[in-house]
Structure 1
Amino acid sequence: MLSAAELAAVYGVRAGTAEARASAADGAGDDVCHFCPPVRRGDQPAWHPPAPGGGAYVSGLRVHNSLTRSKELFVPAQGRRVRWYTCGPTVYDVAHMGHARAYLTFDILRRVLEEELGYEVEYQMNVTDIDDKIILRARRNKLVRDYRAEGRPIADVRADVDAAAAAFDAKLRAKLAQLEAPLPAGASPIEADERLELLQVQRLKLEQWAETEARIAVARAGADAAALIDSALEPLAEALDARLGDSVCDQAVFEEHARRYEADFFEDMAALGVRPPTILTRVTEYVPETVAFIESIIAKGLAYESNGSVYMDIGCLRGAGHDYRKLMPAGADAETTDAQMSEGEGALGGCSSEKRSRNDFALWKASRPGEPSWPSPWGGGRPGWHIECSVMGSATFGKNMDVHAGGADLKFPHHDNELAQSEAYHGCAQWVNYFWHAGHLHIKGLKMSKSLKNFVTIKQALGAHSARQIRLMFLLQPWDKPMQYSDQTIGEARATERKLRDFFGVVKALRRDAWLGRPTAPTPAERALAGKVAAFRRRAREALLDNFNTPQLMAHILALCADVGEHVRATAKEPQSGALVCSDAAVAVTRTLRVLGVAEQDEFGLPLAGGDEGGGGSREAHVTPYADAIVKLRDQLRAHAKASKDGALLALCDGVRDDALVALGVRVEDPTGGEANSSWRLDEPEALARELDERRERQRDKERASLAQALPTKKKELEKARLAAVPPALLFRSDKYAGKFSAFSEEGLPTLDAEGKELSNSARKSCEKEWRQHEAAHKAFLAKPEAYLADLTRAVESLEEQLARLGGAAGRGDSA
């Protein structure tokens, strides 16, 4: 916790003094928030550092604030209470790993604030349950369901699909041509970068469309109308919507769609171990408050009505002294680009001619037929995208909050527009003190996105990896930087989990030993390790205080694990067991992992899937005497097998390790150095089986490579032997020389070529030389054992069969 002097050094003013209170730019009451003098970082608008009031608590955390693009001292306005709002999901489809990146990341940060730094976090999340994406998806799903239920003849479905596919293809290609056209003269670098990214995205969409066209062609050739509809869902739904969308007028269609995917989202969050919010708010439950919020902004002259919609007036907002944009600053005359406009107004955005300036954005959108609608002074309509968070966040936290969080893609336009309308409504200069943005999750170079169809759903990810491995993957990356979702990143997480399990296994093995029967006075080596444990505790907190630096923290954890492993190996033959200092290290690591949401044990270790009473502790106590007995007996059998060179018994011991014990969730590791006995620890059977499969596959890869290298050599030897078996008199009549000669001498030498012409001197001499070489090879072949050729043939066939059994390509050729 920082002292008053340290706070003064940071802010240049004593917190809580009259000078600090006088510097507050928003006129907030004493019960809300005080501010220190404003600061500027680069080209960012002025930021007003919050000054702690009575009962101040400052942990020393410095965190990247998107409002300044710098690490700032974190100072909650109300002591230990942290008022945190996070943009929640737009529930129109299943959640994917891009969502996991944001919400699991914020779960980690929240746990650190609560578990490590002692803050009391009031965590609000919204659910966007009415939005253009939800409207379109719910409406189109209903239209496709209705179309399917009509039971149309296959010929009619083919005609409809053909027309829909042609229109869809033309739209995609027209968009590509538009993006490939040269930018206007004087286009900004931002527009150039945006155009390049949009081109990449559009080309990916065309690649995906080509795959869809192939599926449609296959389904079209059949007689199954349902299969054809399934193959062409997107273009068919779009065509049906264009023709019949305005006929969907039952508001329950949209509500049921949103509720379904909302429940699915929170099921995924629970499976990932993400703590639920303390406050959950839905847009549809705050429509009256939204109308009143917008009326207040209009009354201040900062918004206007146009054709039943309401728009924020950016020119008037700036004229009233408000900063816009704060997160992605731009000059007062900067224009919002077409892509930004599309993102801000949604797929069902209003007409740009309704607005006074293209930079203005919708607070309220007039509803058209086929869209849900609520009453308002401006006619039937619905809230704009950005206004929802302003209304719900203000309803909970008022005119100021400590933290607002969301994905990096929300900075502009969503979050900048949120700030604009909220600060217009409250008449303040700073509605949010700290903006935290989680870095994008990329897959194959592009942001993971439903619209790009390049996403991996959370359920798919959890089918391949555990929730702990996914959490570790994010912990190994900076929380506020982009990251790749790839085999490499998840592989690093799995390797980290394995190292942690190995570490805890080593310590548990020490604890199972009769360590109380040994000397307990700390040795110099144990004192040195104890110093490393103490240093780890200090460094772990320092890493978390430095912008939640979990990659650095994980490096500290793994370094301590390695130190303990080295200590155990180096002191294996000493009388002291080292059980106490190593246990202390395990407790320190587990406590840190528990803060991060990785571990749950009261003492130390990682929880086991399906573990009972304390995440597997009682299970281990129950299993220990039996596992000890089995492993001890196996060690004795292995020693006997090695001494007597009994390969069958040794293979049997390996089978016990790799099959029977794996199925029970017992990992056995055989000694690799001077140790006499194997060690064991509990693990998850699925993880053990997966590692065993991977190890066996690596072994098969080696065998495949060896066989693939040996097979061509053996085939060449067989081909050479088959030729040597031919008597010299028949050499030039064999298949090797078929069609080359038409007459031969008694010895079998060619005399005439294929056309009946006498061979030239040089050709005759060449044949004679080859005949003599073959005669020598034939004599050598006759000297071989009678079964020589058959043995070679069987050897080649055996290699081919082994390679085929291992999944390799043998290519029998003419050797069969």
Structure 2
Amino acid sequence: MLKIFPIFRRKLTHVCSLKPYKDTKWLMPNGNPTGVYIYNCVAEGRVPIILNDPTIATWYSCGPTVYDSAHIGHACCYVKLDIIQRILKSFFNINLVTAMGVTDIDDKIIKKGLETNTDFKTVAKKYEHEFWMDMSSLNIEKPMIITRVSEHIETISQFIKGLIDSGIAYIAKDGSVYFDTSKFPAYGKLQAGQDNGEASDDAKINKMDFALWKGVKPSEPSWPTDWGEGRPGWHIECSAMVSKIFGSQLDFHAGGIDLKFPHHENEETQSCAYHNSRQWANYWVHVGHLNLKDTKMSKSLKNTISIPDVLEKYSADTFRMACLMSNYRYPMEYSDEVMSTAEEVVNKFKFFLKDVEVYANKRDSGVGDYNNKLLNELQKVIENNLEALRSDFDTASCVNALLNLVTQTNRIIKGNTSNYYPVPVLLVADYILQVLTKFGLMLSDSSRDNIRNSFIDTLVEFRHIVRSNALERKDKELLNACDVVRDKMKSMKIQINDSKNTPSWVIIK
């Protein structure tokens, strides 16, 4: 059984003498269990989420390096993190204080500026603005706090100074500062045995040492410090900015699986060293890659797909549903087949909600009654879905359970029976709508208004009357004309669902 260690909150400016910790196991926080479990890479398994306050948690996500447009690989990561955040807030009543770091000064940003003869600040602002527009188009909630590296240089330099003063960081001849990994025995606990991914140079004492500060170079932006001019290294930025906001301990730290090592490893290492703690982030949340036919999507491979391009073909709800139907921790494949399946699922829910509305307002119905079998099934689904979400956010199981619930309810509302069960049917529809909305689906098109809805309703009803008469008289010519109207409307992103009673329609994309 893991030992419980208390969480100590310390100010950013305070650094204690470093103690050599050899135990690299995950340390169970001291606090209040939430009943939710999440995978932790240090523990190599699911662990309980325990918070100081059972209703408050801190969350930091590594944001973009703004040197180019985001692609759907980034979209997949941020949509899945958005889903997890929504689950914690909506299903488990946890108030998340969310922050995201934006790297707006970096080798790639400087390179893009030189290539385009543009100031690095202009490059960063352009692509950061584009990033937030893309996130909004995907219905991703914006973090409460956004930290930009260029706005926290003083915080970062003071953090580095603390590590230098403690003796665990050293200054190289060119003014660069490195973290001495030989003085931190726990280095590698997130992913032991990996090379740290940084090029080795003569300035390092050890191969695994990583840069905290990069000495000044000609034609590059720089800032003054006690040890000389330069700019921050990549890893130190997040540690310093997070510590400024949240103190010496963080609940959730999130990002793509590619950040696990070296970025998150180095963050954890330097933060533990600075705060003299054995565990800085209690829960690391890593999202699997989005692949194209078993190939990782990345800018270096030049196989990326832009977010606007995807949203030209599929809706934000469809993309989110594809994310919901996969496990956040594992690779997800992007293909037309996967997206078409997700689109069918979204449309199935839309049709169902429309059909329930029609069913509940039937004019020819008798006295309403309860259906205990359907109510019992609803209760079972509610309980099982909550358990699935408690168990490392298993959204795929929830979606499958909702689809099964739709199938069972459709047997009632579309069956040839005189029984009328508006209450249980409406309760099922309300629950499904609540869950999907809490997952971040919009299930509506903001461009629709009442006038257009009324027009479509009238047209669909008129077609239904014509089609019903044609079916009764077996008039092929009229039936073909009805099919033409149906196909024309589908080409305009309006899909009709024919039925024996009242037809329904939904907006598709």
**TM-score w.r.t. length of structure 1:** 0.58
Indicate how the Cα distance of structure 1 residues 309 and 665 shifts in structure 2: closer, same or farther if over 3 A, else same. Answer: closer
Q: What letter corresponds to residue 373 of structure 1 in structure 2? A: S
Corresponding residue for 1:46?
25
Partner of 2:14 in structure 1? none
The amino acid of 2:417's aligned partner reads: K
Residue of structure 2 equivalent to 1:501: 350
Instruction: Tell me which protein shows more helix as a share of its residues.
Output: 1
Residue 395 (structure 2) aligns with: 550
Aligned residue number for residue 669 of structure 1 = 497
Counterpart in the other structure of 1:537: 382
Other-structure match for 2:417: 573
1:312 paired residue number = 179
Q: Which amino acid aligns with 1:655?
A: V
How much has 1:59 moved relative to structure 2?
Answer: 3.1
Structure 1 residue 678 displacement after superposition: 5.2
Shift of residue 521, structure 1, vs aligned partner: 2.8
- Which AA in structure 2 matches 1:573? T
SS in 2 for 1:89: strand
Q: Deviations over 1:455-507 (max 9, x none)?
A: 11111111111100000010000011111111222122112112212322321
2:424 is matched by which residue type in structure 1? V
> Which letter does structure 1 place at the counterpart of 2:146?
L
Is 1:263 the counterpart of 2:91 in the alignment? no
Q: CA deviation at 1:29?
A: 6.5
| Contact preservation (8 Å) 2:60, 2:100 | yes
Equivalent pair of 1:44/1:67 in contact (CA under 8 Å): no
Cα gap change, 1:374/1:507 in structure 2, threshold over 3 Å: closer, same or farther? Answer: same
**2:447 corresponds to which residue?**
610
Return the alpha-carbon distance in structure 2 between the equivalents of residues 391 and 363 of structure 1.
Answer: 11
CA distance in 1, matches of 2:267, 2:423: 54
Q: 1:231-266: per-residue Cα shift (whole Å, max 9, x none)?
A: xxxxxxxxxxxxxxxxxxxxx711100000000000
Structure 1 position 682, deviation (Å): 3.1
Q: Deviations over 1:81-139 (max 9, x none)?
A: 11011100000000001111111111101111111110100000010001111111221
1:727-781 per-residue CA deviation (whole Å, 9 max, x = no partner) reads xxxxxxxxxxxxxxxxxxxxxxxxxxxxxxxxxxxxxxxxxxxxxxxxxxxxxxx
SS of the residue aligned with 2:47? strand
Counterparts in 2 of 1:60 and 1:327: CA distance versus 1, 3 Å: same
CA contact (8 A) 1:130 1:283 kept: yes
* CA deviation after TM superposition for structure 1 residue 628, in Å: 6.8
Contact 2:351 2:506 in 1 (8 A): no
Q: Which amino acid aligns with 2:400?
A: A
CA distance in 2, matches of 1:491, 1:667: 15
Q: Which amino acid aligns with 2:192?
A: P
- Quickly say closer, same or farther: Cα 1:104–1:628, change in 2 above 3 A: closer
Q: Secondary structure at the match of 2:122?
A: helix
The alignment of Structure 1 onto Structure 2 pairs a total of residues equal to: 498
Change (3 A) 1:628 1:288: closer
2:18 maps to which residue? none
Could you state the TM-score of these two structures normalised by the residue count of structure 2? 0.92
Alignment match, 1:452: 301
Alignment-mate amino acid for residue 336 of structure 1 = D
Change (3 A) 1:656 1:512: farther
Q: How does 1:12-27 map to 2 (within 5 A)?
A: 23-24=5-6
Given residue 182 of structure 2, which amino acid in structure 1 is its aligned partner?
A: G
Which of the residues 141, 147, 151 maps onto 1:281? 147
The residue identity in structure 1 corresponding to 2:277 is C
Q: In the alignment, is the contact (CA less than 8 A) between 1:668 and 1:678 conserved in 2?
A: no
Output the CA distance in 1 between the equivalents of 2:456 and 2:62. 48
Displaced runs of 4+ in structure 1, greater than 6 A? Answer: none
The equivalent residue for 2:157 is: 291
In 2 relative to 1, CA 28–647 (structure 1 residues): closer, same or farther, beyond 3 Å? closer
Aligned with 1:140 (options 105, 115, 124): 115
Per the alignment, residue 519 of structure 1 pairs with 367
CA distance in 2, matches of 1:663, 1:488: 20
Aligned to 1:110: 85
Name the SS for the 2:318 alignment partner.
helix
2:94 maps to what in 1? 119
Q: Does 1:635 align with 2:467?
A: yes
Q: Tell me the residue number matched to 1:72.
A: 47
Q: Who wins on radius of gyration, i.e. which is larger?
A: 1
State the one-letter code of the partner of 1:564.
Answer: T
| Separation (CA, whole Å) in 1 of partners of 2:503 and 2:161 | 69
Residues 172-205 of structure 1, C-alpha deviation per residue, up to 9 Å, x if partnerless?
A: xxxxxxxxxxxxxxxxxxxxxxxxxxxxxxxxxx
Q: Is the 8 A contact 1:641 1:650 kept in 2?
A: no
Q: Does structure 1 residue 472 correspond to structure 2 residue 329? A: no
Match of 1:650 among 466, 479, 496: 479
Residue deviations 1:631-683 (CA, integer Å, cap 9, x gap): 453134313540xxx43222223223333x55787643345xxxxx3542231
Sort the Cα spacing of 1:628 and 1:259 in 2 relative to 1 into closer, same or farther, 3 A.
Answer: closer
CA contact (8 A) 2:256 2:287 kept: yes
Q: Which residues of 2 match residues 302-341 of structure 1 at below 5 A? A: 302-306=168-172, 307-318=174-185, 323-330=186-193, 336=195, 340-341=197-198
Q: Is the 8 A contact 1:667 1:680 kept in 2?
A: no
CA shift for structure 1 position 79: 2.8
Question: Quick check: 2:37–2:390 contact (8 Å CA) kept in 1?
Answer: yes
| C-alpha displacement of 1:69 | 2.0
- Aligned partner of residue 59 in structure 1, secondary structure: strand
Shift of 1:324: 0.7
Structure 1 residues 324 and 627: alpha-carbon distance in aligned structure 2, compared to 1, 3 A threshold: same
What CA distance in whole angstroms lies between the structure 2 residues aligned with 1:438 and 1:253? 33
State the alpha-carbon separation in 1 of the partners of residues 254 and 168 from structure 2: 26
Contact 2:34–2:54 (Cα < 8 Å) also in 1: no
Distance 1:266 1:65 in 2: 29
Stretches of structure 2 that go unaligned for 5 or more consecutive residues are 12-21
SS in 2 for 1:329: coil
The whole-number CA distance in structure 2 between the counterparts of 1:669 and 1:442 is 34
The 3 A distance-change label for structure 1 pair 272 and 44 is farther
Runs of 5+ in structure 1 lacking a partner?
1-9, 13-19, 31-42, 143-251, 343-350, 600-605, 672-676, 688-816
Secondary structure in 1 matching 2:302 = coil
Partner of 1:356: 205
CA distance in 1, matches of 2:277, 2:208: 21
Deviations 1:112-170 (A, max 9, x none): 1111110100000010001111111221222xxxxxxxxxxxxxxxxxxxxxxxxxxxx
Q: For the residues of structure 2 that align with 1:97 and 1:663, how far apart are their CA atoms?
A: 26
Higher relative contact order (CA 8 A, sep 6+): 2
The counterpart of 2:506, out of the listed 670, 673, 683, is: 683
Mapped pair 1:592 → 2:421: no
The aligned runs of 1:479-498 (5 Å cut-off) are 479-498=328-347
User: Are the aligned partners of 2:360 and 2:422 in contact in 1 as well (CA < 8 Å)?
Assistant: yes
| Residue 413 of structure 1, CA deviation | 0.5
Q: Distance in 2 between matches of 1:634 and 1:391?
A: 69
Q: Any idea what the Cα deviations from partners look like across 1:688-739, whole Å, max 9, x if unmatched?
A: xxxxxxxxxxxxxxxxxxxxxxxxxxxxxxxxxxxxxxxxxxxxxxxxxxxx
In 1: Cα distance, 2:305 partner to 2:324 partner: 19
